[in-house]
Amino acid sequence: MRKVLLTASVIGLSLQSFSQTKLIEKVSAKADELIIPYERYQLPNGLTVLIHEDHSDPIVHLDVTYHVGSAREELGRSGFAHFYEHMMFQGSDHVEDEQHFKLVSEAGGQMNGSTNTDRTNYFETLPSNKLEMALWLESDRMGWLLDAVTQQKFEVQRATVKNERGQNYDNRPYGLMYEKLGQAIYPYGHPYSWSTIGYLEELDRATLEDLKKFFLRWYGPNNAVLTVAGDVETKQVLSLVEKYFGPINRGPEVKKMDWEKINLESDRYISYEDNIRFPAIVMSFPTVPNFHPDEPALDVLSDILGGSKNSIFFKNFDKAQIAVQSSVSHPCMELGGQFTLSVFALPGTNLAEMEKKIRESLEEFEKRGVSEDDLNSYKARHESQVFQSLENVAGKAGQLAQYYTMMSNPNYIGKDIERYNKVTKEDVIRVYNQYLKGKKCVVLSIVPKGQSQIAANKDNFTPKFTSADFKPDNKQYEGLSYKKPAKEADKFDRSKIPGSGANPVMKVPSVVKGNKAGCDYIITPYDELPIVSLSLLFKAGHRYESINKSGIATLTSSLLDETTKNFSTEAIAGELDRMGSEITIEANDDDIIFNVFCLKKNLSRTLELLNEKVVNPAFNQDDFDRKKSEQLEFIANQVTQARAMADNAFRAKLYKANSILSIPVVGTSTTVESISLDDVKAYYSNLNLKNARIIVVGSIAEKDLNPLFKGLESLTPSKTALVSDKGEFNTFQNFTVYYISKEKAPQSEIRIGYVALPYDATGTFYKANVANFPFGGNFNSRINLNLREKRGFTYGTRAAFEATDLAGPFFITGGFKGVVTDSSMIELVTELRSFHEKGITEDELAFTKSSLGQADALKFEAPQQKGRFLKRLLDYKLETSYLEKQNEVLKGLTSSELNGLIKKYFNLNNMVSVVVGDPKNIEKLKAAGFNVEEIKP
């Protein structure tokens, strides 16, 4: 059945009684307006309910959005909203600890939460027969949470949040950029002057009582919108919502926030040193809140300055090879926005020169002006992005919730598109003059350690921070008390997990397979949106390279995205932009891949431009020199990134030195330096029809691909066919930890594993992944519950088997708090040994079968999901029936059979480990008795 997306008339402000729930409005399909049909209701306690019926896939998506983000926090008490994103998964009165994740996973579903400055949301996607369970879970943490929030849980999640900050802020290059900008652009006390994750010292000062009061103030039903989208019936949803959410008490009233417009009296120069290779300069101007009338024109301005290969910044910085990356963006929030210009310069660059160049680029815009082509290109890409955001029920639910939370109008999508389509050239010039020209900004310099002299200017601004003895204003939290709903309000036993109907029938996509002159192709219809997603893959990835030229596939793919024989880089990018089409090119271990997205109406011309890139690359020397330089800089920059260092060293330990797979896909500085333009041309000659595959998701006919085949047929096959590396790998007898020193790293990256198995759909590889599911394959796995939820050592850790037709690795991976590197390794090893010796429990087996057996309902909703499924069919010569066979295998698996596999494939003695971290923490590993050897990056 086709999804109804599209069009609307509003039956507004009529009231219909469904028990005590009011129908506020109904938006339904009509004519040709882009819309998300829904019905809006409100419960007596103030909870807003949005329901969107979509019966195309047997799934349901729930989103509970609270109008509370870091902007609702008090000065001196940052990070509370994000902290609750963690605490809300820790159980409530009727939901046991860790059970929320477990129940959703066991149902084959997915869930998470997110926090920004202005709102927090919690969401899950499940098979549609689990609707009642999902509503029970969400209602329990809205109305029955606080008694279950214990000091122990509080401390564990405080440690987890610290690990998240370490991983995503403190231990990541440029990770403090936006925090520093916020501190400087907003005045002391402004809620955007601190980051969403908060400051460690303020999290440390927080008490359990502080956190509970925050919940009581902001997490009432009257400050929330519940959105239910998917394969549901509105009447049933309303009945269940009243049942589970109706008794919850209304919370304190919440008013819309307001803040004075930000005006800087002078340029504020700030800087900090970081473990980076590329010095960066970021200039940020205060602008307008989201949905302000000037937001669209400012977005268009940011695009003209730095949003594409036709932009001023791309020409002046990237193509001129004075920077490795430049960008211009205009993120807007509820209280204000920032127009931000960024340049990541080459090593050693004085950022004062970059600031001068940025200001000259703004002056260039004044002379250049705005063209109709600028407007049309932006509007076309904006239209495509809107369609992409609506590819699944999660996207549509998210849009409805966002529009209601920020605009009190879920039916805003048409108006949102209209306000962008109305932007004129005069509007763009006006907002430039109003918000940028002659205006003051924050200028942030991020420089490599020990190079403060290359900052754009001396610091002239110091942010103010709260002191340790600071006393926040508690007025808005006075008089709050926890009043749980009355038990007699329920006509059922809330402590019992709701049952569910029969599992929904999995809808496997229908496919059309074919072969033309040796090229396999596969198409699955998709008529839910007027879009087409296509991938053209050539078996010419990293594994086909020679070792002394490793990285050539990556370099070749980047050059194929440059000048062609008939188009400049800018011209072909401009034409794609005017259609809202995208063509991206990349290389991985296996393939060089052309990924295409376009509106169906633009398919023919988009395929012509794809042909141009594939068949007619110019391979200009200037392009080659620039892309080679960029790749060399990327390689050199990896020594600043702990994750990349760990991944590269782990790969080098797993595979023999004579295997290309021991080397990163991008190559090494030595191998890439040796590649010539003639080498690239020779490697390109291996792209032809016989080693190509085509994957299409869209309602098109096979004949629509004829123009693409015509172009591919013109490619002349190389006289010498590429030969795949055999993927020879090392074997290990005794567990050894190899470490790379990264001074003062707040976290340690740990990898453990070995090369195990090649891919198969229903045999040993499949069964080994089933066995891994309770060990490291889901949130409630042994290793994640132990190291994240119990001990607070990590933001998350996981394990998996990965493979192609070549044997691939089993690995355990994660970032861990540096001071507990030894303890983390001990716990991982202990868990692995216990699993190896004792195997899977019957409860774990039942959980695994339930979870994996129902997860298929979620696999085929969005085009990207369908594309991955089609690729697997082509790569391994599978029929769609393989999924049925997998389910048969899964049902028949016993703990005895899996334990036999666990004995064989989870043996620590066959594994190796790589750790990247501070050497002081590595020394503890030696003291713990591990065999430790240092390696150089």
* 340-358: pLDDT as tens digits: 999 999 999 999 999 999 9
Residue 5 is predicted with a pLDDT of 35
Q: Please say whether the beta carbons of 748 and 917 come within 8 A.
A: yes
| Mean pLDDT within 126-136 | 96
State the pLDDT at residue 1: 29
Express each pLDDT in 557-583 by its tens digit: 999 999 999 999 999 999 999 999 999
Longest dimension (CA), the chain: 82
In angstroms, the CA 591 to CA 692 distance is 9
Name the more confident of 158 and 359: 359
pLDDT over 90, % of the chain:
86
What is the arithmetic mean of pLDDT over 821-828?
97
Any idea how long the chain is? 937
CA 643 to chain centroid, in Å, comes to 17
Q: How confident is the model at residue 19 (pLDDT cuts 50, 70, 90)?
A: low
pLDDT tens, residue by residue, 282-341: 999 999 999 999 999 999 999 999 999 999 999 999 999 999 999 999 999 999 999 999
Residue 13 has pLDDT above 70, yes or no: no
Q: How many Cα atoms occupy the beta-carbon half-sphere of 567 within 13 Å?
A: 22
Least confident window among 73-87, 395-409, 803-817: 73-87
Lookup result for tokens 């389910």: 887
Please tell me the pTM assigned to this model: 0.92
Average pLDDT over residues 498-527: 89
Examine the pLDDT at 836 and tell me if it is beyond 50. Answer: yes
Residue 692 predicted with pLDDT over 70: yes
| pLDDT 10s digits, 430-457 | 999 999 999 999 999 999 999 999 999 9
Read off the pLDDT of residues 867-915 as tens digits, 9 standing for 90 and up.
999 999 999 999 999 999 999 999 999 999 999 999 999 999 999 999 9
> In this predicted structure, what is the pLDDT of residue 355?
98
Mean confidence (pLDDT) of the chain: 93
Cβ neighbors of 740 (< 8 A, separation 6 or more) are 645, 646, 649, 914, 915, 916, 934, 935, 936, 937
| Alpha-helix runs per DSSP H in 546-660 | 552-559, 569-579, 603-615, 621-637, 642-654
260 pLDDT band (50/70/90 cuts)? confident
CA atoms within 13 A on the CB side of 87: 27
pLDDT score at 8? 35
Q: Is the pLDDT of residue 18 over 90?
A: no
